[in-house]
Structures are given as C-alpha cells and as structure tokens.
Structure 1
Amino acid sequence: MKIRSLLRGRIKLPFTITFVAVFLLLNVRTSYAGNALNDGESSGIQQQKKQVTGVIVDIYDEPLIGVNIIEKGTTNGTVTDIDGNYSLSVAESAVLQISYIGYLTQEINTSGRTTVNITLQEDTQALEEVVVVGYGVQKKVNLTGSVASIGAQKLENRPMVNLSSGLGGLAAGVQVRQSSGKPGSDGASILVRGTGTFQGSNSPMIVIDGVVVDEGNAINSVNSEDVESVTILKDAASAAIYGSRAANGVVLITTKGGRKEAKPRFSYSSLFAQSDVSSKFKLESNTAEWMEMHNRAVMNMNPAGVVADPTLLPYKQSDIDTWRAASLNPNGTDNEWGVPNYLAYPNTDWTKYFYYPSFYHKHTLQVTGGGANNTYLLSAGYQSNPGTMPNTSLEEYSMRANVETTVADILKVGTRTFFNQRYGDVADSSTGGALFYINQMVPAMTPEYNGKYGALEDPTLNASMNPQNMENPLARLLLRDGQHITSRLNTTWYVGAELFDGLNAEIKFNYQDALWDQREHDVNIKRYSFRTDEVLAEYNANLSLATTSRSFTRQVARNLIGTLNYNKTFGDHDISALLGYEQTYWNYNGFSASKRGLLDYSITDITTGIEMSSIGGSYKRDYAMISQFGRVNYSYLLMFRTSLKPLTKK
C-alpha cells in the first residue's frame, strides 16, 4: 500500500538516475544562493531574513519530491526532499514560487509567516494537451522524442512574408536562414539540429495536414493565417515513423478548422509593412574622388614611371577639377550643354537606385463555423510585394476550404483543399545577373532620368571606358520582360470512423499538382547621354538576335494513406498504438524552348519567333513508394514511457 502511495506521489528516485542529477543541480543552486548571502553580509549589506519551512503534498495528501521553491525575483531557491519537506531563508515579505511538472504553479506570500504548507493541484490541461506527430497526435506528456510545437498565437503575433521565414527563433535547435530578398525567392532554408549531410539536401521533410509534400517551396504556399500549429520533429526517435525521408527532421503543418454549433464568424486580417535592405554596401559616389583614387592606384603601382611620364595617369587633373567644381553647384546650368550639372557631371550612388524602400501588403478573409454535425473554414488571401529592386515584384492569391461532416455519430467525411497562384517578375537580381556589374560601375553615369537610361557621360575621361562596354546595371534589370507563374493545388479527402471504444480508422486520399510556367523575352533599351540627349549605346539593338523563351514544368503526386489508431487508458496504464499503410506516386516532367529573331519588340509570344535557338527541359520521370508502419506507446502513471516504431518500405 505504501509503494502504491509513493508512486501516486510521482516518486521517481528509485527508478531513474535522471532525477538524481536534477536534484543535485538544484542543491548546487541553493548552495550558491547561500554563498551570495554570506558575501552580502561580509560586504556590509544587511537584510532582514527569516527561515520558512513547510511540506508540499498533492491532492491525495502524498508528499511530492523535487518540487521547485524559488524566492520570486531572485535566484534563491531549494527543492523538497523525499518527504516533501523544504526549508528556505528568505526576505521578510518574500513571495514563494512553487512549480512542479504536471501541476499548476502557485505563488505564496510569506509576509508574517514562517511555516507554509502547500497542496499542489494537477494541471489537467497540461496532462491532456496533445501534440501533432507523424500520422496522428499524442499526449504531450507521453512524448519520448524531441518535439517542438509552435501554436497559432505565436505565428499570428509576428509579421511574416511567408511561413518558412516566420519560424525563425520559435524553436530551439532549428536554424532558419534567408539567402535572398527577392519576392518569391525569399523563402528561408530550415536546418533542424544543424547540417545532416555534406551531400544532397539538408532540408527537413514537409508534411501538410498529414500528407508529405515533396516540392521544395510548398511550405510557403500555405497562408500563415490559416495555420493552427507547426510541429517540428527533431530527433530520430520522433521522426522514425517516416523512415529515411526524415533524416533531416520533419516539419508538420496543421491548418485551422471550424467549430461545431458555431455561427458563421467572419475575420479579416491585414499586414502593411515597409521592406528595405537592412545593410547596404557603400560605393564611391563622388566622381572627382573616384578619379583621384584611380590615379593614386596607378601611382602606387608605378611611381617612377608616373614621375617620368605624368600622362600615364588615367585621369587629367583638369577633368577632376571641372567635375569637382560642378558638384558644388549641382543645379547650375553653367556648362556648354545648358543642362543641370547633376546630369552633365553626375555623381551617382548606385545603391540608392538598386535598393529602395517598398510597401508590402497582405490580406486574409476567413469565415468559420459549423452545425451540429459539420464544421467549415473558408479562406481567401492576397499579397503584393513590389520588392526592393526594379522588375522583381510578386503578386500572390490563395484559397482554402477545410470542411468536415459527421454522419451517424461514428463516421466523419471531410476535405482540406488549398490553391495558390503566384505572378512574379523576371529580373535576374542575383550576383550572376545585374549585381555582377554594380561593383564595376563608375559614378559618372546617370542611371535613369525621365524614363530614359543613361550611358557614360564623358568617354574621353578614359579611352577604355567607352559607352558600349560600360554597363548600366539598372537597365540590365529590365533587359528581360515577361512573367513567372506558379500554381499549386493540394487537396486531401478523408473518411474516418470509430470502430469501437478507443479504436479509430481513417482512409485519406491526397492529390497535388504544381505548375511552373515561365515566359520571357528580350527588351530593347536605349542608353542616352543626358548632356546631348543622343543615344550612345543600346541593349538588344538587333531584332534578328533578340530572343523569346518559354518553359513549362509540372509535378503531380498522389497519396493513399490508411491508418488504425488505438488509444486507451486502463487505470494507471496509458496505451496508444498506430498501424498504417501508405502508397505514394510522383510524376515530374517539363520542357523549355527558346527562339531567336522577333518581328517586333511588341510581339513576343514564342510561336512568333523566327529561328529555334534551343530546346530542352526536364526529362519525364516518375517514382513510387509503398510503406507499412506502426507505433506503440506505453505509459505508466504518466511517468514511465516506452515507444516502438517498426517501419517497412518498398
């Protein structure tokens, strides 16, 4: 009988060394607090102290061992012994914070008291809280693996452009890194507990509403306003149910649903934000200084030669003086062309033209509710992100329908369906595109004025710097026009039934269809001298060499999942079991083609091209997988737990 009482009181010490380690650690903390007090006394800091003692028990009047007692606002604390007793030296009006796993935290004011006996109440909500895991849910208290759960409230309280980047800092051991700020390419890479392999992908597996999504950017197609929770399986024990596919961890996304017997509830959320580059690199924007730096560089490389022949310097001192004088009066027109000096003698800071603030906005409209036997959530979303560079904007539309109906109290039928479509601009803003030229730029060029693009204003400054080989990076961002369209459909239909008390069966069918349609063509751009308003250089000047291209890629996936779940509590024994079967098929194919020669720059469809210049694409491929899996969890008194996860794949 005594053993039974001790077990009910959560006595773990005889069965595991884990508690012993924690117990010793807390004793060290208590010793530290005592030393701190002694140090304070030796330094002359005196504070009225008293000794508070007591015993802490549960609702069955059984003593609790290892309960944390902390003096609020300090590091002074202790833990209860095997009989639930404690003793702590505290300030006269101290407040004690009492906490213990599985019980509600209490705060007790000790003013005028030296004996404080406490009865802790079980936190039934914490004990019954469930967490989404592979192919089902488990009680949080029964988890044996490393799992991080992020609720909707945490996600809703932070502004985010997409779901992946919004996960940063919300889960320990999860690294979220964003490598691009271009809209549509600004999804973050997720690493669970660091790099898992030096070859291949380190990305975790993505599961949306119980179905694996084998498509790189799928996580960002989910509207963050529709997400109920995100669960991250971080170790092998928690992710083993998915086999080798989960070697880098698993991110489980569960979307919201409606509520039974609830009137229709409309909600609207919007986000307005300004996007800007947090750190800009600095380029020399004063042309006179830029010329002097180049002269000094030549002088340092060949001092004797320059002394003997000053014409080796690339820039004349008279030109430097003229440019500097004009920059002192930028609005003056006292030059031979009669235009403002800021056009005749430009001093361009290229980073201001490449990176500028833009206003991003996102809107979501939801309606939720339900009747006695059904629930529903309908959602529509729109976002517009113009980007911080020209020709990089993105528009996105999304729709979702989560509907469920109960038939005859034992059978449920439902769907979780969403559609997402994006329209993006085509500029190549990478370091291999327009940014490749920005470090080569001279400030003696006006990027754009009155809808026209500039060229090098004074080619006589340096013979090697003629307008034809000096690029205008801003104009290069606009050399290609067109549109990148991405469409994603993900629909899941399921039927579930309670066969008998504790045993539930579910069959789920999922269909995924992702399309990438990219259309691009060359654009003719003339580059002017704003001194004379004449064309000095031209991009894509020859219609016969201009190109138009089209690429189309499609990925289709079909999944069939059947599971049996058993959950039952027998007295102090908690048992859950899962048996499942999954069949998956993927198909991937695409093509790309490019034609050279346009009839006119306004006629850009690929069918109007004159000559085929290239044709190719992704070869058609498909693969399939059949899996049988299972899991058994056993818990005794919510303390002693074991988990088995057999898995086979073909």
Structure 2
Amino acid sequence: MKLYSILSKSNYLLLFLFYSLVCSSQNPTVSGVIKARSGEPLPGVSVVVKGTTVGVASDFDGNYSISVPEVSTLVFRFIGYKTLEVDVSLKKSINVIMEEDINSLDEIVIVGYGTQKKSDITGTVASLDQERLESVPNVDISQAIQGAIPGISITTLSSGAAPSNDDTSIVIRGKNSILASNGPLVVVDGVPYQGQLRDINPNDVKSLEILKDASSAAIYGSRGANGVILITTKGGVEGKTVIKYDGYSSIQQLSNLPNLMDGEEFYNFKKDRDPDAITVSEQEIYDNKSWVSWPDIALRTGFSQNHNLSVSGGSKNTKFYTAFNLLDVKGIAKNDNYQRISTRVNLDTKINSWLTLGTRSTLTFGDQSGNSANFSDVFWMNPLTKPYNDDGSLNIYPWEEDTFWSNPLEGVYMKNTNTSTQIVTNNFLNIEIPSIEGLQFRLNTVV
C-alpha cells in the first residue's frame, strides 16, 4: 500500500510538471502596428521582451507579432525615436505610436546610398536640421547654409533683392582649381540638379546633408571632388490630409550710411575754397534752397514677404505633397525687385508589393526686371543740382554747366525685362527584387 501511494504521488507530480511545461510553451501572442506621430508606419522597429533575448522586428508596414509570457513588458526601440516600454497585461493587441527623439535625430544622416548612423560613417557629413530651414526666413538654400554648418565657406557678392547664383560662391573642400569651378555638386532627391539653388523653396526641403571629404567621389565620381550637397524634399505620409501655411514679412533699412554734406554745407565748403567756383545753376538752387539729397532719392525702405501653402497626406498606397510659394522682395534701392513664384508636386504610388511609381516636379517663375540707380555717382553727385525737369521728367544732365555728370537715376527709368521660367521634373520607377531582400532597382528620368 505504501509503495502504491508513493507511485501515485509520483504520477501526479509528473503530470503536474508536464502540464506546467505545456502551458509555459504555449505563451500568448501579442501583435499590433507601430507608427510615428505623423501616422507613418515604422519598419524595422526592435520589439523585445524585457529582461530576455526574445524579440522581433516590425515589417515594412509597421506590423509585428511576438509570443510573450502573460506577465511581461515589451520594449520598443528605433533609431531616432524614444525607447518605449509597454506592459502586456494579458493584452493580445497593442498598437504603438513612437515619439521622435530630437537629440538622437542628429545621429541619422542621408548619404548617397541611403541613410546611416553618423557614428558608422567613415567620411565627414554635416547636416542642417529642418527646424532651421523653417524657423529662419531664408530667401534661398545658400542663406540657410551660411553660418549654420562649420567648414563651409559662402561668399555673397550681391547686395540686391535677388539671391543671384552668379554672385554666390559655395566652397566646401577649398579651392582645388584656378580656372575650373570649385562649386559643389548639388543632388536633389537622388538626382544631380542642373538648376539654380535660388529656385528651390527652403520650405520644401526635408533634410540637407553635405558630404565634405573625398569619400564622396566614391559615389559620384569626379563630380563630387568639390563636395556634395544632398537635398531631400518633403513627401506625403499616410493619414489625414494636412494643410499648412506659413509666411512672414519684413522691412529693410540701410545702416552706416555715410554722413554726406547737404546743399548748404557743400555751398559753404566750395565757397571757402574758391569763391568764383560757384556756377550760376548752383547759386540759383542755393538761393531757392531747393538742393537735394541724391541718396534719399535713390534709396527707400525695403520690404519683403514670403507666403508658403502646402497640402500633404495619402493612403496606404499613395502619398502626396504639393506646395505653392510666393516670394516678393523689394530692396532698399529703388527699382531693385525680385519675385519668385514656385509650385511643387511630390507623388508616390505603390502599384503592388514590388513596384512603385513617383514624381518630384517643380515649376518656378522668377522676375528680376528693372535696374537700380548708379550708386557710384549717387554718393559723388553735387547736391546743388536738379534731378528732374520742371515737368517732372528725368533731367539727363542735372548740372547745366558740367555735362560730364549724367543723371545717376537713368537706370531706374530704363525698360528692363529679366524673367525666367524653369520646369524640373524627376519621374522614377522603383522595383524591389522579391527574391532578394533589400535589393532595389530605381529608374530615373529627368527633364
């Protein structure tokens, strides 16, 4: 009887251990979708059971599925986002929204062949964050880079309203040539850009990276010898349609203007040097106190305004971003005006699991018509002269006795037309090879 009792107890013990082993091997499965705050799914997110080595990664659409004990914690990690811990608590479905980590975003940069952590890159890459592009009122890309990225030399020779590329020098790797260009290669959305930087609206730029060392030549060949500027424009994300407007207006005034003599001071100065040097027209203007200040006639208070309207959104298979921009700048010199009207269309359409069609198109109209005054003569011109005739027309020779001096305001009244229209479209076909994970083929057509 005792032997039978011991055997019975042993059988019950073995049955209990077997039942416990079966229960422990059949852990419940938790699944869900991982998205960013913008609604975009996050692929490649690490999902690990806390305190163990059990983990999975989310797929292309942000989906994940993992077997976990009933009482456990899941840890979600992704580069550029804050680590998130979620208590399972018998839940079968957990959808996660991850928050961007501003501090760690700087560790992610775009290179010519994809995205990498900055610590993994052997070359030198400088980044310009999107916040600076949007918060600072920049007329063009070169103004955004100037003073923001160390090691980049930007020299602007133009003081007018228009950001002229001909008067802007961008040097990344020093002056390597005496006669050839030292300017960098500009790549927009993966394609070398043949237009002008001033035609790119800074509000349309998502990220900007600069390859500063010789390793850029391994990607772009000899064209990258002077460095490479990589510009990635914004795209749509899955979710609700987002309408965004931002704009600004500003005034400009000339500072450190030389203290020039007015008509009375000039008359006394000239009279002291040579009493007989005063001409008849000068004496008449002095007696009538009708002398002029030529800088006051040629200059004005500048005014600029910038308006940007964008619409973005999309579904699971189609994402879009469209934007309209109006830039209107009136410089401090009269008739020094610049206007830029641009529109952009970025579209991505996923035909099936391995084929994606898209376009990156922009249309820009620029108007730089008009000439300003000749300021070399404006600051030298005699204040005891007449800029206009009695009927209000321009006086060609303001000083009757000295026809050497022509009117420095002639350029203001000349008819000058300087407009340009630029269309740049990059249409692409992206093919993912189903049999080889991570291998893609991209066909670009640029017009």
- Asked whether the two chains share a fold, i.e. TM above 0.5, the reply is yes
Secondary structure, aligned partner of 1:156 = helix
Alignment equivalent of 2:370, drawn from 426, 451, 464: 426
Secondary structure, aligned partner of 2:246 = strand
Deviation string, structure 1 residues 360-403 (Cα, Å, up to 9, x no partner): 11111100001011111011111211222222212221111100
Alignment equivalent of 1:212, drawn from 175, 192, 195: 192
The alignment status of 1:373 with 2:336, answered yes or no, reads no
Q: Give 1:67's aligned residue.
A: none
CA contact (8 A) 2:294 2:379 kept: no
Secondary structure, aligned partner of 1:427 = coil
Q: Give 1:275's aligned residue.
A: 252
Call closer, same or farther: CA 1:410–1:319 in 2, change over 3 Å: closer
Q: Give 1:290's aligned residue.
A: 266
Q: Give 1:477's aligned residue.
A: 412
The alignment status of 1:401 with 2:345, answered yes or no, reads yes
CA contact (8 A) 2:282 2:385 kept: no
Call closer, same or farther: CA 1:426–1:322 in 2, change over 3 Å: closer
Q: Give 2:381's aligned residue.
A: 441
CA contact (8 A) 2:388 2:398 kept: no
Q: Could you tell me the TM-score, scaled by structure 1's length? A: 0.49
Secondary structure, aligned partner of 1:154 = helix
- Look up the equivalent residue of 1:286 and give its one-letter code: D
CA contact (8 A) 1:405 1:414 kept: yes
Call closer, same or farther: CA 1:448–1:271 in 2, change over 3 Å: farther
Calculate the aligned-residue CA RMSD, in Å: 3.3
Deviation string, structure 1 residues 331-358 (Cα, Å, up to 9, x no partner): xxxx6xxxxx443xx0x33222223212
Call closer, same or farther: CA 1:474–1:374 in 2, change over 3 Å: same
Q: Give 2:278's aligned residue.
A: 315
Deviation string, structure 1 residues 238-278 (Cα, Å, up to 9, x no partner): 34422222222111111000102x11110111121113334
- Look up the equivalent residue of 2:394 and give its one-letter code: Y
Unaligned 5+ residue runs, structure 2? 1-49, 52-79, 83-100
Alignment equivalent of 1:203, drawn from 150, 158, 183: 183
CA contact (8 A) 1:127 1:140 kept: no
- Look up the equivalent residue of 2:348 and give its one-letter code: E
Alignment equivalent of 1:352, drawn from 267, 278, 296: 296
Secondary structure, aligned partner of 1:353 = helix
Percent identity, aligned pairs only, is: 28
What does 1:57-76 correspond to in 2, within 5 Å? none
CA contact (8 A) 1:396 1:422 kept: yes
What does 1:101-180 correspond to in 2, within 5 Å? 126=104, 130-180=108-158
The alignment status of 1:508 with 2:443, answered yes or no, reads yes
Deviation at 1:407, TM superposition (A): 2.5
Deviation at 1:127, TM superposition (A): 9.0
CA distance in 1, matches of 2:250, 2:445: 36
Q: Which has the higher contact order (CA 8 A, sep 6+)?
A: 2
Call closer, same or farther: CA 1:144–1:292 in 2, change over 3 Å: same
CA distance in 1, matches of 2:169, 2:124: 21
- Look up the equivalent residue of 1:251 and give its one-letter code: I
Secondary structure, aligned partner of 1:263 = strand
Alignment equivalent of 1:265, drawn from 242, 251, 259: 242
CA contact (8 A) 1:362 1:381 kept: yes
CA contact (8 A) 1:165 1:177 kept: no
Q: Give 1:586's aligned residue.
A: none
CA distance in 2, matches of 1:139, 1:179: 37
Q: Give 1:492's aligned residue.
A: 426
Alignment equivalent of 2:169, drawn from 180, 183, 189: 189
Call closer, same or farther: CA 1:294–1:214 in 2, change over 3 Å: farther
Secondary structure, aligned partner of 2:383 = coil
Call closer, same or farther: CA 1:504–1:127 in 2, change over 3 Å: farther
- Look up the equivalent residue of 1:213 and give its one-letter code: Y
Deviation at 1:135, TM superposition (A): 4.2
What does 1:459-608 correspond to in 2, within 5 Å? 459=400, 463=401, 465=402, 468-478=403-413, 480-499=414-433, 500=435, 502-512=437-447
Call closer, same or farther: CA 1:508–1:279 in 2, change over 3 Å: farther
Secondary structure, aligned partner of 1:289 = helix
Secondary structure, aligned partner of 1:164 = helix
Deviation at 1:166, TM superposition (A): 2.1
Q: Give 1:452's aligned residue.
A: 393
Secondary structure, aligned partner of 1:244 = helix
Q: Could you tell me the TM-score, scaled by structure 2's length? A: 0.69
CA distance in 1, matches of 2:366, 2:120: 41
CA contact (8 A) 1:394 1:424 kept: yes
CA contact (8 A) 1:147 1:238 kept: no
CA distance in 2, matches of 1:319, 1:408: 83
CA contact (8 A) 1:360 1:385 kept: yes
CA distance in 2, matches of 1:494, 1:510: 6
CA distance in 2, matches of 1:219, 1:393: 19
CA contact (8 A) 1:288 1:320 kept: no
Secondary structure, aligned partner of 1:242 = helix
Call closer, same or farther: CA 1:128–1:247 in 2, change over 3 Å: closer
Deviation string, structure 1 residues 398-440 (Cα, Å, up to 9, x no partner): 11110001122222211111110112213166xxxx2342243
- Look up the equivalent residue of 1:290 and give its one-letter code: F
Secondary structure, aligned partner of 2:142 = helix
Secondary structure, aligned partner of 1:473 = coil
Matched pairs, number: 349
Deviation at 1:197, TM superposition (A): 2.8
Secondary structure, aligned partner of 2:203 = helix
Secondary structure, aligned partner of 1:483 = coil
CA contact (8 A) 2:398 2:407 kept: no
The alignment status of 1:384 with 2:328, answered yes or no, reads yes
Deviation at 1:448, TM superposition (A): 5.1
Deviation string, structure 1 residues 216-259 (Cα, Å, up to 9, x no partner): xx111111110001111111123442222222211111100010
Deviation at 1:504, TM superposition (A): 2.6
Unaligned 5+ residue runs, structure 1? 1-58, 61-101, 105-122, 300-309, 327-334, 336-340, 513-650
CA contact (8 A) 2:347 2:360 kept: yes
Q: Give 2:70's aligned residue.
A: none
- Look up the equivalent residue of 2:381 and give its one-letter code: M
Call closer, same or farther: CA 1:294–1:199 in 2, change over 3 Å: farther
Deviation at 1:292, TM superposition (A): 4.7
Secondary structure, aligned partner of 1:203 = coil
Q: Give 2:224's aligned residue.
A: 246
